[in-house]
Amino acid sequence: MPVPVISVAQMREWEKVTWSSGVTEDAVMRNAGAAVARCAERMTAEGDLILFLAGKGHNGDDAAYGCEFIQGRRAELMRVLDPEASGRELQARLDRRPALIVDGLFGIGLNRPLSGAWMNLIDQINRAGVPILAVDVPSGLNSDSGLPLDVAIRADRTLTFGAVKHGLLKSGAVGFVGQLEVASDIGLSPYPFTTEVNLTVARDFHGFPPKRPITGHKGTFGHLAIVAGSPGYHGAAVLAARGAQRAQPGLITVCAHQEVRIPIASQLQAVMVYAGAEDFELPASCSAVVVGPGLASTELTDRFKRSIRRLWQDSLLPVIADASALDWLPDGPCVPGVLRVMTPHPGEAARLLQSSVAEVQRDRVASVRELSRRWGNCCVVLKGHQTLVGRDREEIYVNNSGNPHLAQGGSGDLLAGYLGGLLAQPELQRDALFTVRFAVWQHGAAAESLLARKPNFIIEELADELGLVRP
């Protein structure tokens, strides 16, 4: 099940439901502490020194239990009650060169500005040059707004408990939260409320994609058409095709501008390539279409762009629009009940909404809903840090896989092709939103897996990794 994204008030109500069921606060804190210990171990090496900073509240208790449960590391617990006295003690501890600081100073209940002494202490921690793991929320960050209360811990990783708090996903919180992880199973009762936004986690995809039937053949798994590639941008079509191949549809056909058909075809073996500079005919057996990668050339005609508009508006096939094609889409309704997917990054979303990137990023959920509403209730993949997937009136899903190394040319082309390759398969069209979520998660998870072995990976290598990560 996806992890809910909730407010502090909802978290408090959830805790009340849990305590009334007979579960004790201490039992939950011990489980939270064990989760902190395991996360801290993943961030360090055997024998490393870890410094646990514990405030006076339950957040501090979580950190203290984490120190108690640590294995294979040297762990020191520092109780922080008086920030002025603790500042002097902290420097002595830092002189021992810990490999990790665990921040358990303040939890989600902090809702007022900090005193000068606390601000100085947090600034001292941030300037120490030591990686930081924040417990539940970086100390000093408002868990609802995502804004610092004057100052806040700048964590490398935040391990939050039970559910994701709204503020941790706000654009202004990124520099404080770092990599977000969730310890969802800490002994709380099942979440008793419904939520608008949920976090996708790897376990959502256990057993997906399903096993292929032993009697399956090329026709069973669909035929993807990719309308991509123009003078100066033929590589995007190649990457989209390679991404599609990793999804293993039965057949793939690339329709490219006539001037780049040969360069594209020369780099592909199993993929069919033909030229279609003006009108283009989709293969008769086509079961889904990707349009957009590498269609940035000024040589593309208005007639060609009108063909893309008609495809989006009238085709009975699933259509995935990416890159340049996004600027040509007609707004308004499409064929009822037929799948449409758009994959903008924030800059493209801003152009579509006649807004600014800052406005899109300020409320990414609202941006997804508005894009979907204007373009026929399509499924929107709003790319970037914590990619969002959703529609106008349905749940929005936050994807937390991936890393900054995906910020390379060709990454989006690869994703569009992989997404199309999955959605071309009739079996995977049954729950199209789930399939889209899987594609986005797999793309990010593959980047994480590759980065662990090769910190300077290139997108061509990511194409080889796509589909290998098992949830």
Rounded to 5°, the CA angle 391-137-365 comes to: 15
Same-domain pairing of 109 and 40: yes
Classify residue 470: in a domain, yes or no. no
Relative orientation angle of helices 234-247 and 411-423, to the nearest 10 degrees: 40
Same-domain pairing of 123 and 250: no
Same-domain pairing of 352 and 226: yes
Sheet holding 319-321, edge to edge: 164-165, 3-6, 197-200, 396-399, 388-390, 379-382, 340-342, 319-321, 288-291, 223-227, 251-256, 272-275
Classify residue 205: in a domain, yes or no. no
CATH of the domain at 30: 3.40.50.10260
Query: How many other CB atoms are found less than 10 A from the CB of residue 373?
Result: 15
Q: Residue 277 has what pLDDT?
A: 58
Classify residue 142: in a domain, yes or no. yes
* Average confidence score pLDDT of the chain: 95
Same-domain pairing of 248 and 172: no
pLDDT beyond 80 at 415: yes
Q: How confident is the model at residue 447 (pLDDT cuts 50, 70, 90)?
A: very high
* 5-39 per-position pLDDT tens digit: 999 999 999 999 999 999 999 999 999 999 999 99
- Gap between the Cα atoms of 308 and 317, Å rounded: 13
CATH of the domain at 259: 3.40.1190.20
**3-state SS assignment for residue 247:** helix
Classify residue 211: in a domain, yes or no. no
Taking residues 223-233, report their average pLDDT.
96
Q: Residue 299 has what pLDDT?
A: 85
Classify residue 39: in a domain, yes or no. yes
Q: Measured in whole angstroms, how far is the alpha carbon of residue 156 from the centre of its chain?
A: 17
- Gap between the Cα atoms of 18 and 21, Å rounded: 5
What tokens were used for 355? Answer: 């807004």
Same-domain pairing of 21 and 133: yes
Do residues 15 and 188 touch, judged by C-beta distance below 8 A? Answer: yes
Q: Among 132, 162, 194, give the residue marking a domain's end.
A: 194
Same-domain pairing of 321 and 383: yes
Same-domain pairing of 163 and 77: yes
* 305-346 per-position pLDDT tens digit: 999 999 999 999 999 999 999 999 999 999 999 999 999 999
- Gap between the Cα atoms of 186 and 207, Å rounded: 24
Same-domain pairing of 94 and 230: no
Same-domain pairing of 104 and 239: no
Q: How confident is the model at residue 88 (pLDDT cuts 50, 70, 90)?
A: confident
Classify residue 160: in a domain, yes or no. yes
Classify residue 278: in a domain, yes or no. yes
Q: Among 178, 194, 210, give the residue marking a domain's end.
A: 194
Same-domain pairing of 188 and 299: no
Q: What range defines the domain where residue 142 resides?
A: 3-194
- Gap between the Cα atoms of 274 and 256, Å rounded: 6
Classify residue 208: in a domain, yes or no. no
Same-domain pairing of 244 and 319: yes
Same-domain pairing of 354 and 446: yes
Q: Among 179, 194, 209, give the residue marking a domain's end.
A: 194
Q: Residue for token digits 């399956």? A: 216
pLDDT > 90: percent of the chain: 92
pTM of the model: 0.93
- Cα first-last separation, the chain: 13
Q: How confident is the model at residue 437 (pLDDT cuts 50, 70, 90)?
A: very high
pLDDT beyond 70 at 469: yes
Number of structural domains (the chain) is 2
